[in-house]
Amino acid sequence: MKGNLRKMLSENTNPVTYSLPVGDSVVGLNEFLGKKISLTYTGTINCIACGRKTNKSFNQGYCFPCLRSLAECDSCIVKPELCHFAEGTCRDEEWARSHCMQDHFVYLANSSGIKVGITRHTQIPTRWIDQGATQALPMFKVASRHVSGLLEVIIKNHVADKTDWRKMLKGDPEPVDLAAKRDELFMECATEISRLSDTLPKSSIEKLPDESTTSIDYPVTEFPTKVTSLNFDKTAEVAGKLLGIKGQYLILDIGVINIRKFGGYEIKFSV
């Protein structure tokens, strides 16, 4: 089949069930573990927002005009603590109300080790799966993306806020007691969080001391000992035996490829 790529869809079954959108079709991938698959880039890229052809993709699938104009491509998406909605300078206030001015969660996850992250309430557990986390635990429920970003800034002084994707793809991390780490961070960050709460409307931050840890298992038959990254911009055809799927990566016997990175790329898919 042939069409433009989108990020893989996932369902938190045991193991995770993955599907690959290719144009108007959706391909179930788990059944192809152990089989040779081929993804061939045709040379065409279409923006995942407006559909126009573009010679270069930005921010995982956007053309340059959309990168410059869309709210979902603004710098505050990467750094939500810099949200400028209240200043009246948001690129798209309607989009912000439906995506940013919604309940968010600040969480701990174990992907390549313990990290802190944030996600909209509708993206649990999808966000955790996209990061390749094997364990995840909500810490706080907050009133907006902006508040979640402010909290994350405080907590990342004590734990990492990024995943080491190469380490994540080499195997599952050792299980950790996320609840114990959460309670430790509650104490370590108490003063700073209290100061932040004093500057916000009442009930903007809700601690979640009783949440349980979610465990996630991935469909991987063999992890690579050396992680070799594959890139459609350098090699048009990516073909090899499918050894596993984790995060947004296909793990092949010839290397790994981040499907989300190539959103909008037109490919031919075959098994």
pLDDT of residue 95: 97
Give the global pTM. Answer: 0.95
- Over the stretch 76-95, which tens digit does the pLDDT of each residue have? 999 999 999 999 999 999 99
Q: Do both 123 and 156 map to the same domain? A: yes
Stretch (H or E) spanning 246: strand 237-246
pLDDT of residue 133: 98
How much is the mean pLDDT over the chain? 97
The reply to whether 44 falls in a domain is: yes
81, with CB counted inside 10 A (0-12, 13-18, 19+), is middle
Confidence of residue 15 (pLDDT cuts 50, 70, 90): very high
Torsion region of 264: left, alpha or beta (phi above 0 gives left; psi -120 to 50 gives alpha): left
Q: Which residue, of 215, 234, 262, is where some domain finishes?
A: 215
Q: In what order do the strands lie in the sheet with 237-246?
A: 2-4, 265-270, 36-45, 237-246, 249-252, 255-258
- Over the stretch 107-127, which tens digit does the pLDDT of each residue have? 999 999 999 999 999 999 999
Q: Do both 211 and 226 map to the same domain? A: no
Q: Which residue, of 168, 193, 215, is where some domain finishes?
A: 215
pLDDT of residue 120: 97
Confidence of residue 207 (pLDDT cuts 50, 70, 90): very high
pLDDT of residue 195: 97
